[in-house]
Every structure is written in C-alpha cells, then in structure tokens.
A and B are shown apart, each in its own frame.
Chain A
Amino acid sequence: MGIDKTKHFVYLTLLSAMAITLNIIESIYIGAFTFNIRIGLANIIALLTIKLLGWKETIVVNLMRVVIGNLLRGLIFGSTFWISMGGVVLSTIALILLDKMGSSLMFTSVISSLCHSVGQVLVVIVLYNQPGVAALTLPYLLATSIPMGLLTGYTAKLVLDRIKPMQKKGYH
C-alpha cells in the first residue's frame, strides 16, 4: 500500500475516531426508526477501512467503535453493549470474508448490514431466552437491511472514488 508505519497508524486512528463519532451521532441524534431499524452510518467507515487498510485494521476499528462508543454513552457491558458486539462481530466476519472473495462494495455492505442484524438477534435470543420474540423482528430487520446496506455501500463508494486518486498522487 506504500503507507509507512506512522501514516498507517494515523489513518487507523482517524478512521476509528470517525466510526465512534458516527456511531454516537446516529444513536443520539438520528436514533432508530420504527422497531430498531438504523442506517448503520459507522458501517461506511468499516467498508472504507477494509478497502484502505486491510482486514486486521477493520477488526480494530469495529471493536473500538463498539467499546469506546458504548463507554462514552455509559452503556459499557450492559445488554445494549453485548447486542452491539454480537452484531459487529458477525458483520465484521462477513465483511472480511466477502472482501477476500472479491465481492462488490455494495454487496459486501448489504450482507454485512444483514449479518449485523442477525448477530444482534442471536445475542437477544441468548440473553433473553426468547427466540419467538426475536424471530418476530428478524423479517423486518432483513427487509430494511437491504436498502440501508445499499445506502452505506454507495456512500463508501463515493468516498473511495475521491480518496483513491489522492492516494495515487501520494497525498494519502
């Protein structure tokens, strides 16, 4: 990639900060629409990280976003934290696998968004032992993950289209 160690570290820090900020902005100012449907703005940063830095950095950025995001909102190690963690772990695995398989950015974004919802529902099933209740929300989450994933994927594509020419010119 041609980025030296310090630049790489600065990039990682900036992306983590952006992911945490978007996560907090979304949860405080945008919130959920009906049920628990969210845009998943922080997913844009996860997509950018995997394309710009790599899979290891994506894990770091996503973990930082959940841990620090929840810490700043005072929700660390509460039920919300574990639900977020479940979603992020599954979506990160999907993101890495699809990137390795060479899938398109939009498709990766949608599947990662879907896996985020599924991961959250799985944690709810385990935490609350209510598979019926969780199953009721899953069809709605799956249906809305597709447009939300396309939206975040498209935004990430727009950003990458602007960053990549800068990288080639050596601006990083």
Chain B
Amino acid sequence: MKKKEWIVLLVIGGIALIGILALQILGKMRAKQNQALQSTYVVDVFVDDKVVETFDPNENATYTIEGNYGLMEIEVKEGQWHVSHVECPNHICEKMGWKTVDDIEPIVCLPNGIQLLARVNGN
C-alpha cells in the first residue's frame, strides 16, 4: 500500500476511535446524570414507527412482541432487559445481551423492525 493510502486509513481509524470514545463518555455522563436526577425510566418497544408495548425495567416480566418477521421474547429482570428469544435470521439482538437505562446503544432487530428505546417516564 502507498504512504498516502496508509495516511487515509489512519485518519479514518482515528475518526472511528474518537467516535467510539465519545459514545463511551456520553454513556458514562448519562449514568451519572441518572444517578443525580434519580429519573425513572420506561422502555418503549417500537415495531416500525409504532409503540406496541411500554414496560417498567424495574418490574420483572416477560413480553412477547410480534414483529415483521416473527415473535420476539423480551425478559425484564431487576432494572435490566434482554432478548431471550427471537424469530429472525440473524439473532443479533439476542447477542446484544442485557441493557440498562445507562446504556446508550438500544436493542434493535432489523428484520423484525423492532427497537427497544428507554426514555424518562413522563416525557
């Protein structure tokens, strides 16, 4: 590879790393803000643009959502939630693991068009 090409790759890599760092810092800031404000959160389950279910992450429960491809099972336990089972070809959302209100990345299943987004209760 030419020297110029290495420089371009280093610049792109640098931008990506700055982006990842910024996301991590934002996540920590959000966690601190949550502690300070003691905000209560709810999680909206979207199928495409519509909210089909809203749950309190502090109430242990299991929800089954019908997406565009098949069913998704969401398990909520002690302020955390994860996808325990999903009918889709990728199963990426299952691998995303447990999420809390401090996590900046939401759980998304693109084949089903399902997104799990946390928001401050009342907003």
**Which residues of A are interface residues toward B (Cβ below 8 A)?**
27, 31-32, 34-36, 73, 75, 78-80, 83, 103-104, 106-107, 110-111, 114, 124, 128-130, 133, 136-140, 142-143, 146
How many residues on the B side are at the interface (Cβ–Cβ under 8 A)? 33
- 21 contacts across the A-B interface (CB closer than 8 A): A27-B89, A32-B90, A32-B92, A32-B95, A73-B89, A78-B68, A78-B111, A79-B111, A80-B110, A104-B1, A104-B2, A128-B110, A128-B113, A133-B106, A136-B104, A139-B19, A140-B16, A140-B20, A143-B17, A143-B19, A146-B9
How many angstroms between the C-alpha atoms of A133 and B12 in the bound complex?
21
**Which residues of B are interface residues toward A (Cβ below 8 A)?**
1-2, 5, 8-9, 12-13, 15-20, 22-23, 48-49, 68-69, 89-92, 95-96, 104-106, 108, 110-111, 113, 115
Interchain pairs with CB closer than 8 A, number = 82
Interface of A is mostly: helix
**B23 in contact with A136 (CB, 8 Å):** yes
**A142 in contact with B19 (CB, 8 Å):** yes
How many angstroms between the C-alpha atoms of A14 and B108 in the bound complex?
36
